[in-house]
Amino acid sequence: ELLKVFLSLLFTIFGFLVTTVSLALTHERMPDYDPLPDIVLDNTPYQKWGLDASEYVLIVLTLLAIAVIVFHKHRFVVIRRVFLMLGLLYFYRAICFYVTVLPKADPAYYCSPQLNHTITFVELMQRCVKIISGGGLSINGQQVYCGDFIYSGHTMSIFLAFFIIREYSPRKFWYLHGVVLALAILGIIFLLIGRGHYTIDVIVAYFITSNTWWTYHTMAHTQVLHEHGEHNYLTNHWWFMGLYYFEANVPKRPLPREYNLPIPDSLATKVSELVNRRGSQRDGYQEIV
């Protein structure tokens, strides 16, 4: 199981690296003219703080999603699913914004000057290091390379975190799901009024992220969809063999919503015994009184 987690993590890291290289190259091709017409951006007031606010929402949702994964009993299954889907989304995004480069949605956003020559390998690596050091966020001042619009990485991350929380937290936590959904929508609103992306970037990001999530989980939860045959066209997905490998030996489909502390079983047993012993002592004290 740990090997699968490690391999899925490598896949995510590779996808992220491809995205950074793609952005470093795309920056040189970004056109320098006015923003494109956008029905939402053209009819809403610009708020400079919007992009930063959307990233704070993204961070909060990401931390909540991490907490859900950490305390899930089948955390290793969940995390490798997330890593595999995240890697896929990074690859899709790297291709999309490289093939079609849009002008800045926010003319006031600072972008590093473009080179007057063909980018060298050393310059490319320097750009990649700078992008990685900032984690793809603007709030730390490291996101100075532009052109990664279609599709929105902010929207992708926000909704991926929402899907994780909704799918793997207890169903009775409906109020948490409602709050998280409201935060996700608020984060998208902040992103748009801050001119972090065009509306089309957000729409495409939502459809790709949601369809990747639902397709993967439908296949993961349905044993017959793991089998090749004329009944299963979903095996034509280029990542099907990855799903087939990572979903082998999963204990139950779908995963039960069970939770425990992320500590070794031996230590968890000792903690449980200690709690039970203290509970028994307290009950005995009450009987004497």
Catalytically annotated residues: 154, 197, 201
Sign, CA dihedral 109-115-119-121, equals negative
Length of the chain, in residues: 289
- Determine which helix (DSSP H) or strand (DSSP E) holds 209, and give its type and residue range: helix 199-221
DSSP state of 149: -
Non-local CB neighbours of 234 within 8 Å, separated by 6+ positions = 215, 219, 225, 240
Both tokens assigned to 224: 């017959």
Q: Are 184 and 162 in contact (CB under 8 A)?
A: yes
Sign, CA dihedral 259-265-269-271, equals negative
Which one-letter amino acid corresponds to residue 145? Y
